Amino acid sequence: MKASGDIADLLAIMARLRSPDGGCPWDIEQDFASIAPYTIEEAYEVADAIQRGDFSDLKDELGDLLLQVVFHAQMAQERGLFAFGDVVEAICAKLLRRHPHVFSDVTNLSPDQVKALWGDIKRQEKADRAAARAEAGLPAEPVGGVLSGVPEAMPALTRAVKLQEKASKVGFDWNDARLVLAKIREEGDELEREIEAGRMDAIRDEIGDLFFALANLSRHAGADPEAALRGTNEKFRRRFAHIEARLATKGARPEDSTLAEMDALWDEAKRIEKSSIA
């Protein structure tokens, strides 16, 4: 087989890898649950390539993410559940259905009107699914509350924001980011008391409360907390690399240096960054 830009070739390669007759032993033994973590990982690698502005890498990472879709579809086809074409058909139908302002005679809508229309369409989709399940003799889906429909497998900070957004739609929210900031200070004080008392379970709970409040502040400020933390992680990595490089010029390593020495180099890295921005 040769590489090409035809999706049919990718599907054929995946089918061959999963074939009991001469396929790859590792690919053959996988199932939906074992592949799911790789699917999540590949999505993060796509986001990382975008953040770094590396579009050559982005091409490769998008290919890796597409492979995950093909892998899941192949396993589903083997079980007689659905095939890759069904996945494509489903998303095409959804896009057409959810964009009548583009693909029908509904025109000249404002962004707010589009958002409201989207909500109406999603509610109709839910009703249609319920009717289809009833017609097929299947039990009704569990009735969820306001916070239902937020996947537990989401990154915790992202899920916190999604839960908060849903609660906000029914009025359970602060109307001022400064009130959220006050809540953060309150959670910090509670955490400090538990640290002083040495209650480890309570410390863990208070740290969770603090993260949740920080995610809430990010939402009110219009900042994605995952993206904000990724940026800070990269900043930390960059500045610590400066510490290592500067110490190396002296024949030293971080483990051989004092905290004061490393703090001074950290401040130096910050000054260099600020001067380069200016």
Q: First vs last Cα of the chain: how many Å apart?
A: 54
Please give the share of the chain, as a percent, with pLDDT higher than 70: 98
Kindly report the CA angle at 125 between 124 and 130, in degrees rounded to 5? 95
Question: Between helices 225-248 and 259-277, what is the axis angle to 10°?
Answer: 120
86-122 pLDDT tens trace: 999 999 999 999 998 899 888 888 888 988 888 889 8
What's this model's pTM, rounded to 2 decimal places?
A: 0.68
In sequence order, the 6+-apart residues with CB closer than 8 A to the CB of 170 are 146
- What is the predicted pLDDT for the residue at 21? 95
Q: Comparing 45-54, 129-138, 189-198, 262-271, which segment has the lowest mean pLDDT?
A: 129-138
Token digits for 155?
């990154």
Sign, CA torsion 70/74/80/81: negative
pLDDT tens profile 139-168: 877 667 888 888 888 889 999 999 999 999
Q: Is the pLDDT of residue 1 over 70?
A: no
pLDDT of the residue at 68: 98
How many CA atoms are closer than 13 Å to the CA of 145, on its beta-carbon side? 4
Q: Is 115 exposed, middle or buried (0-12, 13-18, 19+ CB in 10 A)?
A: exposed
| pLDDT band with cut points at 50, 70 and 90 for residue 2 | confident
**Average pLDDT along the chain:** 93
pLDDT tens readout for residues 172-182: 999 999 999 99
* pLDDT band, residue 278 (cuts 50/70/90): low
pLDDT of res. 235: 95
Task: Give pLDDT, residue 132.
Answer: 86
Instruction: Please tell me the distance from the alpha carbon of residue 104 to that of residue 194, in angstroms, as a whole number.
Output: 59
Could you give the CA distance from residue 189 to residue 134 in angstroms, rounded to a whole number?
A: 52
The mean pLDDT of 66-94, rounded to a whole number, is 97
| Under 8 Å between Cβ of 48 and 42 | no
CB atoms near residue 104 (< 10 Å): 10
Residue with tokens 């409040």: 213
- Nearest alpha carbon to residue 17 among 78, 59, 82, 60: 78
